[in-house]
Amino acid sequence: MSLPEEDLTCPVCCDIFRDPVLLPCSHSFCRDCLKRCRDAGMRECPVCRKKGPKSSPPSNLALKNVCEAVQQAKRQNSEDKTNCNLHGEKLKLFCLVDKQPICVVCQSSKLHKNHECLPKDEALQDCKDELEASLKNLREKLKSLEEIQRTSAELLKHVESQMLETQAAIRSQFQQLHQVLYDEESSRLAAVEREKEEKITAMKEKIRNTSVDVISATETIAVIQKQLTENDMDLLQNFKATQDRSQGVLSGLHNMSGLLMDVTKHLSNLKCRVWEKLLDSVGYTHVTLDPNTAHPCLVLSDDLTSLHYSKQPSCCPDNPERFHMSAEVVGSTAFDSGSHHWVVETGSSPDWLLGVASSSVQRNTEVSARPENGFWTLCFRDGELRAMTSPPALLEVSNTPKQVKVQLDYEKGMVSFLNPADNSLIYAFTQTFTEPLLPYFYTKSSRPLRIKPEKVLITTLIHPFTPP
C-alpha cells in the first residue's frame, strides 16, 4: 500500500523528503533542512523539541527509497499524458458529458456508461472551435470592461467637477439672496433712522414753542397779579387787553400726540414682508434642465433654466443618460399624470425644437424628433415653423413667436403649443401616452433658449369666524 503524500513530507520545507535523516525521537527531516536548523542554533528536534545527537544523524534509507519512487512516478505521469491513469490504455475517446479524454475501457465502465463520446481527433477540433468562440467573447468582454473602466474613471473625475461647480453655483445664488436681504435690511434700518430724525426734529420744535409759551405765560401771570393789586379803575381799563393776552396763552397749548415712532409700521409682519420682497427678486420654474442628459456642445446656465450651443464641446462623461449624437437635453422631472405647462423664451434664436419626449427615447443614435420615435415637438429652422409630424407640417403664422408655451395634459393625451402673447394655439398633438414624458429642448444656435420663471404669490389662509 502506498503512503499518502502528506506522510512523505518534511515538516520544515513541507515538500517530499530529499535525503531524509532519522533522529532518535523517530522524526525525519531532509538533511539540508536539519542542517539549516542547526546552523540557526537549534539543537532540538524541530517537532518535539527533544535533544538531538551532536553527530550527524543517520540516513533514513527506507523513507528515502519510498520518496524517490514517488518522485519517479510523478515524473512519469507528467511525461506520459496519453495513457489512462486508471487502465493504462491510450486515451482515444472524449466524453462529451464529463468533458475529458477517456480510454475504451473507461467508456465501458460505470463512470462513463451511456455517455456520448467522440473520437479524440474529432473532439479536438470541436474543443478548439469552442475555445476560439470563448476567446472571442472574452476579448469582447475585456474590451467592454476596459471601456467601463475608462468611463468609470471619467465619471469619477466628472463627479468631483460637478461637486465643485454645484457648490460654486449654490454659493453664488446664496450671495445674491444675502445681498437682497442686506439691501432690504439697510433700507429698513435707514427708514427707521429717517423717522427718528423726523420725530426728534418735530419734538425739538415743540420744545422751542413750549419754551416761548412758558415765558409768555409767566409774564402774563405777573401782569395779572400786578393788576389785581392796583386800583379798581386801572383794572377795569386794562381788563380787555389782559384777558386777550391770557386767552392767547391758553390757546397756545400744543397737542402732544403722534410724537412717538410708528414701531408697528417697521416691525409688523416683517419677515413675511421681507419674504415678499425676496419673491420679487426670484422666480419659480416648473421645469429645469438635467445637465446629465445634455449633449457636450450644449451650455446650461447655473440655475439650469437656459441653454445655448457651443462649437467647443465640454469635457463630460459618456454616461448612458446623455444625448451623444444631437444637441439635445431634457428636463429633470418626468410627467406621468396631470396637466403641466412651461413657457420658453426663444428670442432671436434661428434654430430650435421644443416639446416633450418619452423617457425611453434613443440617446446614442440620431433619430427624427417625431411621434413614432417618442417625440412631440415644434421646430423652427430656416425661418419656417413646423410641427414635427410624419412628415413635418409647415405652419402658417403671421409672426414667429418670441415665446412658446408648451402645455401637456397627460390624461387627455394632448401636447399643445401656444403663443403666450395672445394665448393663441399654434399646434396640438393628440396621442395616448404609455410612459413618462420629459420636457425636450434642442438648439444649434449660440443664442439662448430660456425657460421663463413664473411669479410666486403668497396667499393667507383666513379661518372663518365661529361664534362661541
User: CA 263: distance to chain centroid?
Assistant: 47
At 27, list the grid cell.
522524526
DSSP code string of 153-190: HHHHHHHHHHHHHHHHHHHHHHHHHHHHHHHHHHHHHH
H or E, element range at 14: none
Q: What does the buried/exposed string (b/e) look like for 212-222 if buried means 16 or more CB atoms within 10 Å of the residue's CB?
A: ebeeebeebee
pTM of the model: 0.59
Amino acid, single-letter form, for residue 12: V
Which candidate, 16, 25, 30, places its Cα nearest to that of 59? 30
- CA dihedral angle for residue 171, residue 175, residue 177, residue 181, rounded to 10 degrees: 140
- What is the DSSP secondary structure assignment for residue 468, as one 8-state letter? -
- In angstroms, the CA 145 to CA 282 distance is 47
Helix crossing, 232-251 with 120-227: angle to 10°? 170
Give CA separation, 340 vs 1, 337, 431, 458, in Å. Answer: 87, 9, 16, 21
Q: Is 374 left (phi over 0), alpha (psi -120 to 50) or beta?
A: left
Measured between alpha carbons, how far apart are the two ends of the chain, in Å?
108
Give the three cell numbers for residue 186.
439697510
Sign of the CA dihedral running 31, 32, 35, 36 = negative
CA dihedral 32, 34, 39, 43 (to 10 degrees): -170
Q: What is the pLDDT along the chain (468 residues), one digit of tens a residue?
A: 455 667 788 888 888 888 999 988 888 999 998 888 888 888 888 888 888 777 888 999 988 888 888 887 776 665 556 778 777 788 889 998 988 998 888 888 888 888 999 998 888 888 888 899 999 999 999 998 988 888 888 888 888 888 998 899 889 989 988 998 999 999 999 999 999 999 999 888 888 888 888 888 888 888 888 888 877 787 888 888 878 777 776 665 566 777 888 888 888 889 888 888 887 777 788 899 999 999 999 999 988 999 999 999 888 888 889 998 899 999 999 999 999 999 999 999 999 999 999 999 989 888 899 999 999 999 999 999 999 999 999 998 888 889 999 999 999 999 999 999 888 999 999 999 999 999 999 999 999 999 999 877 767 666 665 665
DSSP string, 46-63: TTT-PBPPSSPPPB-HHH
The pair phi, psi for residue 292, each rounded to 5°, is -75, -10
Contact in structure between 438 and 321 (CB atoms under 8 Å) = no
